[in-house]
Amino acid sequence: MAKLWGGRFTKSTNKLVDEYTASISYDQELAKEDIEGSLAHVQMLGECGVVTEEEAKTIQQGLRTILKKVEDGEAHFSTDMEDIHMNIEKMLIDEIGPVGGKLHTGRSRNDQIATDMHLYMRKKTNVLIDLLEDVQYALLEQAKANVDTILPGYTHLQRAQPISFAHHLLAYFWMFERDKGRLLDSIKRINVLPLGAGALAGTTFPINRRRVAELLDFDDVYPNSMDAVSDRDFVVEALADCSLIMVHLSRLSEEMVLWSSQEFQFIELDDAFCTGSSIMPQKKNPDVSELLRGKTGRVFGHLVGLLTVLKGLPLAYNKDMQEDKEGIFDTVKTLEGALQLLAPILETMTVKKDRMRHAVEKDYSNATDIADYLAKKGLPFREAHEVTGKMVLYAIENKKYLLDLDLEEYKQFNSLFEEDIFEALKPENVMRARESEGGTAPHQIEKQLKLAETKLHQNHEN
Ligand code: ARG
């Protein structure tokens, strides 16, 4: 098949070169964005008199016919036409004749692909924001149902202090809130139009970039044509934002793997979201959570991959930049898959309140509260800490928990202890006592829940 750029060549391209340089196998993902950009471009060309209004209309009709074929899965893409731009231009010429060849006036594939990527990133960033919100809703619902559910909070994966399960879940709510904030902020930089930059230096045609920006709903145009065609910062930024989302997803997934283990038994995942073992009939594996955790690797890889592609590239466009696509496409798919599953997994999991409660009773996670008790009675905290440490040691040696010791034993360590120490050390009181702003006391959690709800509503109004 004749190349759209064949004029300068006397030989046909080596087959392997065709295959090696073609991007159509994956950039067909951008078919709709490519047509959307072309529709706006030719509209502007018609308005500016670069092509006649009639030619513009004919081209737009042709593009819409192709769009319909793309949507119906009837478009046939070919490696001979290398990439999405030339495939669609070829289809257009086949559809409406030589006038289709006027579409590419005043633009280059360099500003075209940059525009496609901007349109793609904007669409997908909004999808990811919505999916993050679904997860936030699921976390919020579980949190509301578990304000009074007590479990050990951990540091170093050692039992530290009793906390509310709602508090633990809400920690993830706020991570995803920051993730959403980053994505929302990135839209400012995505919403800038490269088209009109031409190959690198601008164009000799009397185009109107602002008009194209308006038609495509961009807030601004790139002020420098060389930057416009060689910038992929917004893709790197999306990969970085997605990497951080994966960090958060992976941490939550790890906790779900731990919690659903025989050792913890804090939650049970719904059968619909677990898988079995081909050999061990008793098993119910948290495969989805594990994969969620595991897929973090490929997303980090794509981030480092693109950073490496871009590093040291001279201005302006270089073919290397075609390597921006598969990584971000895979990243978006990976995140869509993960977030779509996480919301229902959270919604359907069973919280084993009794097991959590039992864990808190059989540990020393109320020790800080003994030290706090003494400190409130005037003993310097450092001394109170020392006394309590000795008591923990004594209790362990006597195979007891702190609530099993009697007042006499308490008084042997310090005369400041009174009967009320036993009330203070009960898990719910230990939890309730953490009344400081952002603490795990139920009263503080209620405030947090309200704030979380307000945030979700605010985002919806924007
Ligand atoms: N397929 C190319 C890409 O994805 C489109 C731009 C190609 N431009 C060029 N002059 N070869 O980057």
Tens digit of pLDDT for each residue in 15-39?
999 999 999 999 999 999 999 999 9
Q: What is the average per-residue pLDDT within 193-201?
A: 98
Pocket of ligand 1 (CB under 6 A): 23, 27, 83, 109-110, 113, 317, 319, 321-322
Distance, in Å, from the CA atom of 336 to the CA atom of 329, rounded to the nearest integer, reads 11
What is the 443 CA–ligand 1 centroid distance (Å)? 58
What is the 224 CA–ligand 1 centroid distance (Å)? 19
- Paired sense of beta strands 150-155 and 158-164, if any: antiparallel
Distance, in Å, from the CA atom of 109 to the CA atom of 22, rounded to the nearest integer, reads 14
Kindly report the CATH number that applies to the domain delimited by 110-147+163-204+222-353: 1.20.200.10
Task: Give the list of residues 6+ apart from residue 283 with CB closer than 8 angstroms, or none.
Answer: 276, 277
Of 12, 277, 443, 457, which residue is the catalytic one?
A: 277
Q: What is the average per-residue pLDDT within 285-292?
A: 94
Where along the chain do its domains lie? 15-105, 110-147+163-204+222-353, 363-450
Whether residue 1 is predicted with pLDDT greater than 80 in this model: the reply is no
Chain centroid to CA 33: how far?
22
Which ligand 1 atom sits closest to the C-alpha of 84?
1
Whether residue 459 is predicted with pLDDT greater than 80 in this model: the reply is no
Same fold, 110-147+163-204+222-353 and 363-450: no
Percent share of the chain, pLDDT over 70: 99
Percent share of the chain, pLDDT over 90: 94
Whether residue 146 is predicted with pLDDT greater than 60 in this model: the reply is yes
Q: Options 1.10.40.30, 3.40.640.10, 1.10.730.10, 3.20.10.10; which CATH number does 363-450 get?
A: 1.10.40.30
Which ligand 1 atom sits closest to the C-alpha of 82?
1
- Contact (Cβ atoms closer than 8 angstroms) between residue 208 and residue 46: no
User: Of 250, 238, 241, 236, which Cα lies nearest the Cα of 297?
Assistant: 250
Which ligand 1 atom sits closest to the C-alpha of 83?
1
**Confidence class for position 462, pLDDT limits 50, 70, 90:** low
**Confidence class for position 281, pLDDT limits 50, 70, 90:** confident
Q: What is the pTM of this model?
A: 0.95
**Confidence class for position 461, pLDDT limits 50, 70, 90:** low
Mean pLDDT, the chain, as a whole number?
96
pLDDT in tens, 157-170: 999 999 999 999 99
DSSP 8-state code for residue 363:
S
- For the chain, the farthest-separated pair of C-alpha atoms sits apart, in whole angstroms, at 101
Structure tokens at 98: 């030589």
Distance, in Å, from the CA atom of 32 to the CA atom of 18, rounded to the nearest integer, reads 24
Paired strand residues for 351: 267
pLDDT in tens, 48-65: 999 999 999 999 999 999
Pocket test for ligand 1, best of 8, 79, 113, 230 (most atoms within 8 A of CB): 113
- Determine whether 104 is an active site residue: no
Q: Work out the burial of residue 409: count CB atoms within 10 Å of its CB; fewer than 13 is exposed, 13-18 middle, 19 or more buried.
A: middle
Distance, in Å, from the CA atom of 45 to the CA atom of 392, rounded to the nearest integer, reads 80
What is the 110 CA–ligand 1 centroid distance (Å)? 6
Measured by CA distance, the residue closest to atom 12 of ligand 1 is 322
Torsion of Cα atoms, 175 then 178 then 182 then 185, to 10°: 160
Whether residue 460 is predicted with pLDDT greater than 70 in this model: the reply is no
Q: Options 3.40.50.720, 3.30.200.20, 3.30.70.250, 1.10.275.10; which CATH number does 15-105 get?
A: 1.10.275.10
Pocket test for ligand 1, best of 322, 325, 326, 328 (most atoms within 8 A of CB): 322
Residue type, position 275, single letter: T
pLDDT in tens, 327-370: 999 999 999 999 999 999 999 999 999 999 999 998 899 999 99
Task: Give the list of residues 6+ apart from residue 396 with CB closer than 8 angstroms, or none.
Answer: 364
Question: What is the SS3 assignment for 221-280?
Answer: ECCCHHHHHHCCHHHHHHHHHHHHHHHHHHHHHHHHHHHCCCCCCCEECCHHHCECCCCC
Tokens 């005037």, located at residue: 378
- Determine whether 156 is an active site residue: yes
DSSP 8-state code for residue 106:
T
- Contact (Cβ atoms closer than 8 angstroms) between residue 341 and residue 273: yes
Q: How many residues does the chain have?
A: 462
Give alpha helix (H) positions in 73-164.
84-96, 109-144
Measured by CA distance, the residue closest to atom 4 of ligand 1 is 322
Of 156, 415, 436, 460, which residue is the catalytic one?
A: 156
Question: What is the SS3 assignment for 32-64?
Answer: HHHHHHHHHHHHHHHHCCCCCHHHHHHHHHHHH
Tokens 């949190």, located at residue: 143
Distance, in Å, from the CA atom of 302 to the CA atom of 364, rounded to the nearest integer, reads 44
What is the 214 CA–ligand 1 centroid distance (Å)? 25
pLDDT in tens, 299-329: 999 999 999 999 999 999 999 999 999 999 9
Q: What is the average per-residue pLDDT within 128-144?
A: 98
Paired strand residues for 152: 162
